[in-house]
Amino acid sequence: MTPVGPPGDDWRCVFLDGPSPHNVWVRWRDNAVEDTNYNGHGDFYEPIANAPLELVRRFGRNAWNVARSAEAAEWYCAGVLRACIVGRCTGTASATVTTHHDPSAPPFRVWTVAVQCGGEGEPAATAYGVTELGVLETIARFLGATR
Amino acid sequence: MDDTKFEWYETENTERFLPVRARWTGDGIETEEYPGPTVAPSRSATDIAACFPVDAPRIARECGASEEYRVAVLKARIDAVMQKRGCGAVKTYFNSCASVGFQWSAWMRSSVAREGDERRLSGRTPYAEADHGTEVDALEALATFLGVTS
């Protein structure tokens, strides 16, 4: 993808993993998070390396609360939460956040979110719940990634 | 913290119960095992952690404190922070069947669990675990992971 027009320094990219992984661009405007994965004219921008970390540093650990209070879409709030978790857990090693949906599981645990810090033997955390977003929020609080 | 008063914290592992006592001298932490078995610890882990600075685990390590004492300080520090997040107590266990280097586990759930509730809670609450070759290393890894020590 070739960027059409620079996104500007105030835009950052969040990678959304899952069945259809994609990038979404976000920025801070008028005390809220504004997002887009295209510029309104059908033009996508290239992602920025380590963008989630930059996002967390720029927006702070309450980015999730801001997004939720701004009634952002569920998939976008999930992206911000993932960025918050990755940002919190990368102090000593790289972190990965994976989500898994198992419709055959009991209703209260159809969604699983796992956070891995580093490789084998490194700390890991898991959480279960009814919705992907709910589980992400729960584990983010557990890990101190939001407040 | 009163630098003349001993503060108490109790710790245990799978092999023995070991009360330790420590005090803040201004330059570091002095520690010793309590010699008598009859006097119960008088302070909770949270109280002790509140007395110690945030970097108490690091100070204990640099002062060459015993591993048992470092375990106690780390547990106290983790519990103090995680209780504010509504979580239960940190726990450790030794698994002789695990791979060498990963036999000690430090873990906790996000909910306060009573004895016997673990199975019911296992599928409902966030769970974090770190595995290492020693109890103190596992606790340090978990503490860093949870963001309770720097």
What mean pLDDT do residues A21-31 have?
63
- In this predicted structure, what is the pLDDT of residue B68? 77
Residues 61-90 of A with CB under 8 A from B: 88-89
Q: Kindly give the interhelix angle for B135-146 and B67-84, rounded to the nearest 10 degrees.
A: 30
**pTM: predicted TM-score of the whole model, two decimal places:** 0.71
Under a CB-based contact definition with an 8 Å cutoff, are residues B73 and B56 in contact? yes
Q: Of A109, A122, A142, which has the smallest distance from its Cβ to B110's Cβ? A: A142
Report ipTM (2 d.p.): 0.70
Under a CB-based contact definition with an 8 Å cutoff, are residues A89 and A146 in contact? no
Mark yes or no for CB contact A138/B101 under 8 Å: no
Mark yes or no for CB contact B127/A125 under 8 Å: yes
DSSP secondary structure of B115-139: TT-HHHHTTTS-EEEEEESSHHHHH
Nearest to B26 by CA among B4, B10, B7: B4
Shortest distance between the Cα of A43 and any Cα of chain B, in A, equals: 39
- pLDDT by residue (tens digit) across A48-91? 566 667 767 777 778 888 778 777 778 778 888 888 888 887 75
Measure the CA–CA gap between B88 and B111, rounded to whole angstroms. Answer: 5
Tokens, residue B146: 């949870």
